[in-house]
Structure 1
Amino acid sequence: MNAIVDHTALVTEEDWTKHRRAMLQALPPELAGQALPDILLQHQKELLAATARYNLVVTDKSRRVGATWGVGADAVLTAGATLAAGGMDVLYIGYNLDMAREFIDCCGMWAKAFAPACSEVSEFLFLEEGEKGEDKAIKAFRITFASGFEIVALSSKPRSLRGRQGYVIIDEFAFHDDAEALLKAALALLIWGGKVLVISTHNGVDNPFNELIQEIRAGKRPGHVVRVTFDDALDNGLYRRVCLKTRREWSPEAEAKWRAEIYKTYGAGADEELRCIPSQSAGAFLPRTLIHACMHSHIPVVRWTPPPGFVDWSEDLRVADVNEMCAMLLKPHLDSLDPRRRSCLGQDFGRSSDLSVIHPMQIRQDLSRATPFLLELRNVPFEAQKQIVFYIRDRLPRFFHAAFDATGNGAYLAEVARQKFGVSMVSEIKISSAWYLLNMPKLKASFDDRSIELPLDDDVMTDYRAIKVVKGIAKVPDDARSQGADGYDRHADSAIAGAMAIYASEQSGGEVGAGSTGETRTSSTIAEALGGSFGTIQPRADLSDFMRM
């Protein structure tokens, strides 16, 4: 996956120069001075590798990063291959005639480079039904191959796909007149072994293109997203390629200046056009009504603040006091858990200014998630929090995973939990824009599906309402502060714990046999049980070997 660059802070021309010099210094000597890089840039290779693995691929891209040009190679390799080798027709759909001609010309260039037997680019007319039912002749373009397959650039009308089969490429999907109907028509080709690639820059947060991306990231629709911002492409050598074509001399300083000019040219539109951030994307992420529909009065919120001076008590007194709290406030809820269900938990860590919130979950047979209680800890010392987490974990039936906020001070608790429970049972999460981007859609999907349960509590409601869409990414802003019923500050703590719990619920690992509530199997125990054999991981499909010239 491409690295996601955080653009919340302004990257100056000087910053970019230093960044590119540092990247060059990190290259092996034999690569740092090479004049002719691989013909495809890294993000183009990743896109082709994705289309080799997935039936539905969406590329979330910046303007002019060469995605369509790279896909031309994929189209030629696909149409030029025999049926036994996975060959099929390639059906390209742009939103105007110029795009169609440009793509076919690109494929003609690739066909000559790969040297399969193919025809010259030809124009032809095909009939499609007009808006009033009349026959309408549409100009199209075609390249035919000795394999028997062809690359055809078709009309942008959904009905142009009727009766056809193959690999559909929809270019600048967000700008088609009837994008949703076009996607439905294209997806029908998957039934008989076709593939669909959707390429586009963004055109607003409510556009079908952005909705498709969010559905895939949330796991509600099978598929894969390849995200390429302008800076990702620059890191991969885009400006070097521009210099190669325009006969300019490349340098970090020249690239930084060129980058600054491009961003300045786009002005306020740079976020959407270059950074893959859909416009009009601000405001609350979860509507109040959606959150309220998942709240239940029977789920308690257990809140505990230790006595003043607790951190300075002797260790035996602190341990005894925490044990008493756990026995009184937590044990009744833990004892009532269904021993047949798998259990997990998520925690958002806080020490003094913020709360620590622990959100345990049990997975029902229908895959919905039951919440037995929510635990809020305020001003609880590190060792006491560790004691509480261990207490809860040891009493969770069929425990299989825990996700901890390992940002800042939370790294300590996440680490000792990993050491105690085993690496397969713990995820240490460094919260970042990249993590928010991939996981907040899954949190929202759990509300849409009513597969998450929360306490009916005003503070919890406020926490989840604090999640905002900032520059296209749903996250908890740094300044998202509210005052709880106890008069102290909150920072959407229970919402982060809930997102962690959702993340944990989708992980595998750990002991899940019926009746296992306390024993942690170490990696050595697992290895012994498997006879020391863990098998091999198959390499991911990659077409990059075809791309070298």
Structure 2
Amino acid sequence: MTSEPVATASPALQLYDYQRRWVQDESRFKIAMFARQCGKTFTSTLEIVLDCLRAESQGQRRRWVILSRGERQAREAMNEGVKLHLRGMQAGFKEYETPFDASVRSLEVELPGSSKITALPANPDTARGFSANVLLDEFAFHQDSRAIWRALFPVISKPGLKLRVISTPNGKGNKFFELMTGKDDGWSRHSTDIYQAVADGLPRDIEELRRGAGDEDLWAQEFELKWLDEASAWLSYELIHACEDDLAGLPQHYTGGPCYVGVDIGARNDLFVIWVIEQVGDVYWTREIIARKRVSFTQQDTLLAEVFERYRVLRACMDQTGMGEKPVEDAQRRHGSSRVEGVLFTAPNKLTLATLGKEAFEDRRIRIPAGDNVLRADLHKLRKETGPTGAPRFVAESDSAGHADRTWAAFLALNAAAGTGGPIEWRAVPTHPRGFDNLTGTAPRFAMRAEQQYAGDDLSPPESAATW
């Protein structure tokens, strides 16, 4: 425990306009998004200190609690916020550090008039532990944000208690998003992106920062305050729409050119998807997308065999992860190991597949069916996140429409096209119960001969764009 003397002098503190707007807003409930390193915790703890000092000058007491995402953040809010302001204003205080429970330590300062400010990590138990004014710091990143909210809100139900919520965005799956995007609910909302902060006087070189970031997703979320699932969507709606075409996805428009197939394996909740693309010049036209849910492996084998008969398939890439081992082995035995390649969905392989796929969309080298909202949502569902070690990873929410299964099938097909080795001899079959005559404008069906014209061992798969 330490004690610091009270002094009368207090130097003037210069605030930027966006900081002044936040501090001077006395609404009972207020919430804000600030760009990174724009002083959101500094500004919010300043309001807390000013509120306590104002109360003490009137012979009153204030009680504030800061709930942070972790102990380190709670310590920073106390040391680099609360104590910094108190020292700058030459206000006396005592500081304590005590156990809150077996795993949480409480950091506390007490002013001469018994006003107290406490900082500690947020969880449902700590949120229930006080009847006080509350600051939720970086609330979008709190674990169990909804449980914390349910535990917390009754705490500040007493008339006159204030609630402040600050954060940068972190997707739409948390309570911060709901609070920040609500309307007509009594909340005062503030939003300061990097452009507004600089316009209000913050000395930052925006272009230098953007170039230095080297990551558009990071820039969009941390500095432009875009929600994570929009900022980190691997394929934006703009990219998806740019590659749509009314003639894509219709088997009857197959011209007999070389085709490549991607297969994403699914047997229970996820979809089994076959994506067929035909190369026409330097563009890959989607000819057919087969998506089935809860189909047996026998049915999957049959669907894939029919695709090999219907199209001139040069190469197919299949998801070999987990339950995909046997389907890949069966497909290689039936269609040739030089035409069927299994791909393990390891983190590096998924990054390679996703990068190859995104480049095809950015360069408009793929055509996909137009106006298919389910397909659009599937392609937009895949997100890139940064893992605990800093390595990128790809995630997608699972729902009744799948788990970005169509997207991975498309990327596998594009990967198959990137690693072809040579032509396949084929001959058209003019009639078939499910085939059509090319002269009528409907889809021909092809019987494939297994011989590949590779130099060397014809049983070896062609060299892929990546090492799997």
Same fold (TM > 0.5): no
Larger Rg: 2
Q: Which is richer in helix? A: 1
So what's the TM-score if we normalise by structure 2?
0.44
Q: Which is richer in strand? A: 2
Greater RCO, 1 or 2 (C-alpha within 8 Å, sep 6+): 1
So what's the TM-score if we normalise by structure 1?
0.38
